[in-house]
Amino acid sequence: MTKEQNRIMAKPKVATTSLAGCFGCHMSILDIDERILQLIELIEFDKSPINDIKEFTGECLVGIVEGGCANEENVRVLQDFRKHCKILISLGDCAINGGLPAMRNTIPLKECLDEAYLNGPSVYNPSGQIPNDPEIPLLLDKVYPCHEVVKMDYHLPGCPPSADTIWQTLVALLTDAPLELPYELIKYD
Amino acid sequence: MSENLETVVKTVCEGTGNDKNRMMDIVRELQEILGGVSDDAMDLIATQVGTHRVEVESVVSFYAFLSKNQKGKTVIRLCDDIIDRMFGFERIKQTFCDALGIELGETTPDNLITLETTPCIGMCDQAPAIMVNDEIFTELSRDGAVEIVEQLRAGLAPERLRRRLGDGNNSSPLVSAGVSNNLRKRGEVIFAPLECGRALKKAIAMSPNEVIRDVKTARLRGRGGAGFPTGMKWDFTRSANGERKYVVCNADEGEPGTFKDRVVLTERPELLIEGMAIAGYAIGAQEGLIYLRAEYAYLRPFLEDTLQKARNMNMLGVDVLGKPGFNFDIRIQMGAGAYVCGEETALISSCEGLRGDPKNRPPFPAQKGYLGYPTSVNNVETFCCVARILDQGAGWFSQIGSKGSTGTKLLSISGDIRRPGVYEVPFGISMKEVLELAGGEGAAAVQVGGPSGQLIGPDMFDRIICYDDLATGGALMVFGPHRDLLKVVEYFMDFFIEESCGYCTPCRVGNVLLKNRLDEILHGKGEPLDLTYLEELGNSVKATSRCGLGQTSPNPILSSLKNFPGLYHALVKANQPFQPTFDIQKALGEAKEIAGRPSMHFAE
């Protein structure tokens, strides 16, 4: 192997996923714009919607998780991330607090499904069935923030966190430097 | 609205001169007469004293001994502190519930008896203890409990119930309480023989500044726990601007495990009165208040009588002991069951007829205290020390104890020891010596200074009781090796959650979060990082709370984490597939039932 190849191989890996989120946080990752070229110098993406790798190929340094856990598949993916990633980051308010999907948390699951598939004012469902294919992951009783399911190492708030915040955080983590987030980046009103 | 109610409220309010600052007295008296302060009564009070209805309700709803709903003719309050729990609380509770046919918090259908619990009533040395209205019953057996119910049912008033009278003044007609002093060791300051009036006479022969100088020379520090130099506090109060000044005695010893003031108030009230008069002379006050906790209401007639005797001897009143222009008198202000009122600014709020909310500092009470006037708030024991200093001299006093902590300290010792009670010991004594005195050699842990203090283990029993090492208001709760210390910590956190006044978020919310995480750990759902969480959150609550309650409430957790880490480490489990509090099967239960199929990913 050449020296250059060696360097590439040794690059730390980053995985990302969107659980019960809207992909807005991932859009924000893409908002780092041309800096993604610099990022690629620093890291290699493993499992992530950005490169469409579906399963982990090995151990990762950082796992970035958007969205909370609304169903069993979310839980399985999150567990998988915990297993493969040294550092797990909750990215954005849904991962941290449950966010919009958690608005159903005060309503019993059965009522939610009935409203969505049977009783809602705009529902047209002559068969009166609630989708129940074995492929459809079962919903959890409520939407859980990630840290209630597995241990999360960092929380990066925002809806979504801005590209600059994500950039600063990743650079700090990858270069082992202290993270400095100026006031503008953590001010939300 | 009945005319009768109107008359009663009117009479009670007029008894205080329709003074809204005396709200505590008004609502206390109405509670006693009517069994509760109803909506109608609150409206009437507000109109009568010229305040807003909400001001009245905020007081009634704040204090544990006041209520909007009518309680039974007799209220039985079971003392539910950790020591009582160790010595039969559960047994007594069950006996009362069975005998009365009601649960805690309920009233018998005939409206005769209400059964409640209350935190420490200052009888830890004779647990289990209960209050029947204002009367105290200690070392209660199951038979004793049944007997009380039978007598009440037979129509006996609480003050007529049979009891074995205690020693000393407990058996005097004005007290007639079934309370023992358990005064195990008399020191040379508080419990030495007393000649009434000598100290005050010496004080008024000097100038006020000389009196303060003597207190400073004696290096007297506050005995309530915080240890602020008394002379300095008086100096501030004396030099503050104000057309009136006040002396306030903090006799609200609500820190669980503390009961020394109970014995001082029973056996040395004259010394306290003298100390307060000296304070009045020194700072230029004409009025003094004794804020007496509601749990000690049984001492009130006796204390009023002692005050009257002092007036007869001209130790209180006009031109005290013939000193022209020095007028000083004392009024007793009753509390109504709120731990936070032991905090001096909350105590002042309560004296002013408000909720027991602490006030912002600065201004300190020495600048702006009771009703906005400069006020010195001191502990019962501190006033007693002052009287002795003026009588025997600052030099004599400062020779007792250790260098930074002069004089003696009253310790209230309870728990797993052979001789529970009050000990007057010189500062500088080691914990080991104290335990030997009290018969607690095999102790596994001692809670020093009540829940807000610290929990120490045998490896620290060489530590010294003084302001620079083991600083304490005097409560020592001793736990034997068979006790579950984390249960103790759990109880203390419940106590703080209950007693937080709710004004500031760190204390109102933080203590609940701490307790929740502690519960998870105790139920085997903890992981190692939870301990870091407890420590960080505990320190945040301490650093950001508004008053002494929140600034010390995380101490049970923090000090047990520090001194007994093994207890916690044995309970937490590392490297679990999920957070220990997350139960995937439970989370999927509903969906499985609705879908009628098992989970794809998580087999049971």
Chain A interface, best mutation among B520, B576, B578, by max A CB count within 10 A? B578
Encoded amino acid at B512, one letter: V
Give the closest-approach CA distance of A120 to chain B in angstroms.
Answer: 18
Chain B interface, best mutation among A71, A72, A139, A147, by max B CB count within 10 A? A72
User: Which range marks the domain in which residue A71 is found?
Assistant: 3-102+139-178
Asked if the Cβ–Cβ distance from A138 to B529 is below 8 Å, we say no
Alpha helices in chain A (DSSP H): 3-9, 24-30, 35-42, 72-84, 93-97, 109-114, 163-175
Domain count, chain A: 1
Please give the pLDDT value at position A8: 54
Among A124-128, A154-158, B524-528, B588-592, where is mean pLDDT lowest? B524-528
Asked if the Cβ–Cβ distance from A141 to B529 is below 8 Å, we say no
B108 contacts B164 by C-beta, under 8 angstroms: no
Distance CA A69, CA B197 (A): 75
Q: Is A131 on the interface with B (CB under 8 A)?
A: no
Please give the pLDDT value at position A4: 59
Please give the pLDDT value at position B306: 97
Asked if the Cβ–Cβ distance from A140 to B591 is below 8 Å, we say yes
For chains A and B, what is the number of CB pairs under 8 angstroms? 66
Please give the pLDDT value at position A7: 54
Map out the domains of chain B with their CATH numbers: 3-62 (no CATH), 74-163 (3.40.30.10), 184-399 (3.40.50.11540), 409-479 (3.10.20.600), 485-569 (1.20.1440.230)
Please give the pLDDT value at position A179: 87
Whether B181 shows a pLDDT value over 60: the answer reads yes
Please give the pLDDT value at position A173: 87
Smallest Cβ–Cβ distance between B599 and the set A113, A138, A149 belongs to: A138
Among A9-18, B362-371, B439-448, B503-512, where is mean pLDDT lowest? A9-18
pLDDT tens digits for range B485-527: 999 999 999 999 999 989 999 999 999 999 999 999 999 889 8
- Judging by DSSP bridges, how do beta strands B421-426 and B445-448 pair with one another? unpaired
Asked if the Cβ–Cβ distance from A79 to B577 is below 8 Å, we say yes
Looking at every residue in chain B, the average pLDDT score rounds to: 95
Q: Where does the pLDDT of residue B581 fall: very low under 50, low under 70, confident under 90, or very high at 90 and above?
A: confident
CA nearest B121: which of B293, B250, B292, B263?
Answer: B293
Q: Is residue A109 part of a domain?
A: no
Please give the pLDDT value at position A2: 59
Chain B interface, best mutation among A71, A78, A138, A150, by max B CB count within 10 A? A138
CATH number at residue A55: 3.40.50.700
Distance CA B385, CA B408 (A): 9
Averaged pLDDT, B324-328: 96
Give contacts of A76 with chain B, Cβ < 8 Å.
601-602
Please give the pLDDT value at position A9: 60
pLDDT tens digits for range B204-247: 999 999 999 999 999 999 998 889 999 999 999 999 999 999 99
Smallest Cβ–Cβ distance between A76 and the set B529, B579, B601 belongs to: B601
Cβ neighbourhood burial of B50 (10 Å; 0-12, 13-18, 19+): exposed
Give contacts of A139 with chain B, Cβ < 8 Å.
591
Looking at every residue in chain A, the average pLDDT score rounds to: 92
Half-sphere exposure at residue A157, Cβ-oriented, CA atoms within 13 angstroms: 7
What residue in A sits closest to B576 (Cα-Cα)? A150
Q: Is residue A10 part of a domain?
A: yes
Give the closest-approach CA distance of B574 to chain A in angstroms.
Answer: 11
**What is the signed CA dihedral for B379, B381, B386, B391, rounded to 10 degrees?**
160
Q: Is residue A132 part of a domain?
A: no
Q: Is residue A107 part of a domain?
A: no
pLDDT tens digits for range B274-312: 999 999 999 999 999 999 999 999 999 999 999 999 999
Q: Where does the pLDDT of residue B583 fall: very low under 50, low under 70, confident under 90, or very high at 90 and above?
A: very high
Q: Is residue A122 part of a domain?
A: no
Among A146-150, B359-363, B574-578, where is mean pLDDT lowest? B574-578
Q: Is A75 on the interface with B (CB under 8 A)?
A: yes
Asked if the Cβ–Cβ distance from A134 to B600 is below 8 Å, we say yes
Chain A interface, best mutation among B520, B572, B579, by max A CB count within 10 A? B579
CA nearest B553: which of B468, B450, B446, B411?
Answer: B450
Distance CA B356, CA B338 (A): 7
Averaged pLDDT, B532-554: 96
Asked if the Cβ–Cβ distance from B591 to A138 is below 8 Å, we say yes
Asked if the Cβ–Cβ distance from B589 to A147 is below 8 Å, we say no
pLDDT tens digits for range A19-77: 999 999 999 999 999 999 998 888 999 999 999 999 999 999 999 999 999 999 999 99
Tokens of B234: 């008086």
Whether A169 shows a pLDDT value over 80: the answer reads yes
Give the closest-approach CA distance of A44 to chain B in angstroms.
Answer: 27
Q: Where does the pLDDT of residue A3 fall: very low under 50, low under 70, confident under 90, or very high at 90 and above?
A: low
Give the closest-approach CA distance of A150 to chain B in angstroms.
Answer: 5
Q: Is residue A118 part of a domain?
A: no
Q: Is residue A128 part of a domain?
A: no
B347 contacts B250 by C-beta, under 8 angstroms: yes
Q: Is A142 on the interface with B (CB under 8 A)?
A: yes
Q: Where does the pLDDT of residue B604 fall: very low under 50, low under 70, confident under 90, or very high at 90 and above?
A: confident
Please give the pLDDT value at position A188: 80
Give contacts of A149 with chain B, Cβ < 8 Å.
578-579, 582
Smallest Cβ–Cβ distance between A148 and the set B581, B586, B597 belongs to: B581
